[in-house]
Amino acid sequence: MIKFSINKTAFQNALKITKQAIGSKVTIPALTKLKIEVEEKGITLIGSNGQISIKNFLPADNKDASMLISGTGSVLLEAAFFENVVSQLPEVTLEFIEKEQKQVLLTSGKSEITLKGLDSEIYPHLQEISEGSSLKMKVKVLKEIFTETVFAVSTQENRPIFTGVHLETLSTGELKAVATDSHRMSQRLLPLEDTDLKFDVILPSKSINSFKNVFTNDEEEIEIFISGSQMLFQNETISYYSRLIEGSYPDTNRLIPNEADYTLDLVFDAAQLRHTMDRARLLTVMTTNGTVKLTVSGDSVVTTANSPEVGSVHEELTALSKEGNDLSISFNPEYLIDALKVIKAPEVRIRFISNVRPFTLQPRNEESGFVQLITPVRTN
Amino acid sequence: MIKFSINKTAFQNALKITKQAIGSKVTIPALTKLKIEVEEKGITLIGSNGQISIKNFLPADNKDASMLISGTGSVLLEAAFFENVVSQLPEVTLEFIEKEQKQVLLTSGKSEITLKGLDSEIYPHLQEISEGSSLKMKVKVLKEIFTETVFAVSTQENRPIFTGVHLETLSTGELKAVATDSHRMSQRLLPLEDTDLKFDVILPSKSINSFKNVFTNDEEEIEIFISGSQMLFQNETISYYSRLIEGSYPDTNRLIPNEADYTLDLVFDAAQLRHTMDRARLLTVMTTNGTVKLTVSGDSVVTTANSPEVGSVHEELTALSKEGNDLSISFNPEYLIDALKVIKAPEVRIRFISNVRPFTLQPRNEESGFVQLITPVRTN
């Protein structure tokens, strides 16, 4: 039967990571539980919501954990409750002892808490990925391409493939990450180091959003494996599994305009443009389908937005450079704000074809790898 | 017609205070508006939700506001929207110009925003208090007695008098503040400086909760006036009106036990007791009407809580002093936690009569002015 003592903070930190995969809204009741597996070599904390699964291993020789294992076994505990109990324990060390009928006695200082556990036999078997080709990437780089694309996924469940980010290894040796909700698109290309792993998958946006809470060391390198319907991100102690979205993603390259088609090329200070859009948005959110109009005429660039209920905004913008024809185009300022949020460069280049064709945004001077597309709104 | 320019930050801060009184859930549509009154001597920002009203005056010579008034008048603007617009303006200065048909043009840098306003004639007349006897108090002291009592008000609207804090000037020259929800009571006595103002009123808990956001300078002295169904808190620029709850508050003094009746007197470290209750609460919240049991037997003080669903907790407590008989008593740990939160003293004195009579809590060594009562739960 399980018996171990451990540093409370180290145990709490490990629980916090595994808990990312455990939801309260699951259809299989066993999935609200945390599975604790204790072996002589260490403790594994396992959680899953059916979509994401996390195995987090705390090795017996981890120096922060001051672990002493004197009995092995496995048990299921109510995850959220167990995490709360551990966080409230009074002393730096806690002792975990399995009693008869899967009861667990937690002792810390003068506090003794008895928890009802369940037999781990009832926990569903988690599909695992047998070793194979892998791709190594820095956590920071993965987080960057996720941030640059995931905001553009669709929130509508009727076309599931658009609720994830498409990740594809190209024959050019690059990784392509792309997301679109049909109103806007964000695509990032990233040169990869040599790898045998080839893939063409759709990773759910929810898995991407919890990724950053699981892998918190940006400088760390992690390994990526793929098998059938699962993607695995792994470091020395954490295995983070995500199911993939089934279906084939459309070719988004054909959406990106040909260089020759652009008729207007503008460069803005990204922060200034963002603030102008924030002001326009104050009015457009008061109106259904509210749009901002950008009017380029000679050297003048003006944005206007109008809400019949509350008023109007009129603002002159300074273009850092302008080449091409005059244009007047309307669009949802929300999309431009979202796009600017993920552009870290101080200047942004925006190119237009016509007032009914999507326009493109790129960070100025880093134009090859990252491109975003926004579809205008036709107005009268 | 109104015309002025003003420092954006100073104007924003003034708006923020007035906005405390403006709610979106009001039955009179005019009350979602902010009333702006511009006179030569300065600008008054007025807001009300029918329960609370705030008049905030920005004098023309306020040195932070860099105000320049060149036209006077009054207008109503949509409060939440106007505050958002002002906060997003690009420059440090904004210009406010009233146009025909109550339209307002706000200009800041290259940004021009036109807002639809309304005639201030439709704004309801706010009852005002004509000068009379007043009481002067430091903001910090008022906030303290509010904090010490307001948590104990009832949230049930069926007996409105218990949803407020009872404030009464006593013949002893003290101010009494008391709140109770019939499960617990918190009462604070405060010696007052000489004043002619005598009152016996019930101030709604909502007015107390927004008080701290309106008067942010703890060191400031404010003046309190009362007239009929209204209470007014006032400093040099802000008038904060609250309606009072009608009805007469029961005599709570008779609830406080006689010294002679106590059979057990315990002193605890307040932080230690609070943490023990936090752990007990983890289990009691999982059970309907969950209680913690405190068992005093000889030198031993033990708390236990039990939830049939999730487990149990057993903890030894250290009493710093103990006088009196043994006792075993059950109560809702939530009430003890709330009580301990407002006791700033490091040690707390708890006195008991029997396991079916309310027990009292007092900060040790400051026992005269502040007393709390908690009713136990009868268990088998």
SS3 sequence, chain B? Answer: CCEEEEEHHHHHHHHHHHHCCCCCCCCCHHHHEEEEEEECCEEEEEEECCCEEEEEEEECCCCCCCCEEEECEEEEEEHHHHHHHHHHCCCCEEEEEECHHHEEEEEECCEEEEEECECHHHCCCCCCCCCCCCEEEEHHHHHHHHHHHHCCCCCCCCCHHHHEEEEEECCCCEEEEEEECCCEEEEEEEECCCCCCCCEEEEEHHHHHHHHHHCCCCCCEEEEEEECCEEEEECCCEEEEEECCCCCCCCCHHHCCCHHHCCEEEEEEHHHHHHHHHHHHHHHCCCCCCCEEEEEECCEEEEEEEECCCEEEEEEECEEEEEECCEEEEECHHHHHHHHHCCCCCEEEEEECCCCCCEEEEECCCCCCEEEEECCCCCC
Q: Look at residue A23 in the predicted model and tell me its pLDDT.
A: 84
Residue ranges, CATH 3.10.150.10, chain B: 3-122, 135-251
Q: How does pLDDT run across B127-145, given as a tens digit for each residue? A: 788 778 899 999 999 999 9
Residues of B in contact with A317 (CB under 8 A): 110
Residues of A in contact with B113 (CB under 8 A): 279, 283, 311-314
- Paired with A242 in beta bridges are A52, A231
pLDDT band per the 50, 70, 90 thresholds, residue B5: very high
Q: Look at residue B367 in the predicted model and tell me its pLDDT.
A: 60
Interface contacts A/B by beta carbons within 8 Å? 84
Q: Look at residue B129 in the predicted model and tell me its pLDDT.
A: 81
Q: Look at residue B28 in the predicted model and tell me its pLDDT.
A: 86
- The yes-or-no verdict on residue B380 having pLDDT over 70 is no
Residue ranges, CATH 3.70.10.10, chain B: 256-374
Would you state the CATH architecture of domain A3-122? Answer: Roll (3.10)
CATH class of the domain at B135-251: alpha beta
Kindly give the parts of chain A with pLDDT less than 50.
none
Q: How does pLDDT run across B39-75, given as a tens digit for each residue? A: 999 999 999 999 999 999 999 999 999 999 999 999 9
CATH class of the domain at B256-374: alpha beta
Q: How does pLDDT run across A117-161, given as a tens digit for each residue? A: 999 999 998 878 877 889 999 999 999 999 999 999 999 989 999
Q: How does pLDDT run across A204-243, given as a tens digit for each residue? A: 999 999 999 999 999 999 999 998 899 999 999 999 999 9
The reply to whether ipTM tops 0.90 is no
- The yes-or-no verdict on residue B152 having pLDDT over 80 is yes
Closest CA of chain A from B191, distance in Å: 39
Would the CB atoms of A110 and B316 count as touching at under 8 Å? yes
Query: In this prediction, what percent of chain B has a pLDDT beyond 90?
Result: 87
Q: Look at residue B194 in the predicted model and tell me its pLDDT.
A: 77
* CB of B254 closer than 8 Å to CB of B245: no
Which among B34, B82, B98, B312 is the top mutation candidate for probing chain A, defined by the most A β-carbons within 10 Å of its own β-carbon? B312
Q: How does pLDDT run across B314-354, given as a tens digit for each residue? A: 999 999 999 999 999 999 999 999 999 999 999 999 999 99
Which among A81, A82, A299 is the top mutation candidate for probing chain B, defined by the most B β-carbons within 10 Å of its own β-carbon? A81
Would the CB atoms of B81 and A111 count as touching at under 8 Å? no
What is the chain B residue with the closest CA to A77? B310
Residues of A in contact with B314 (CB under 8 A): 111-114
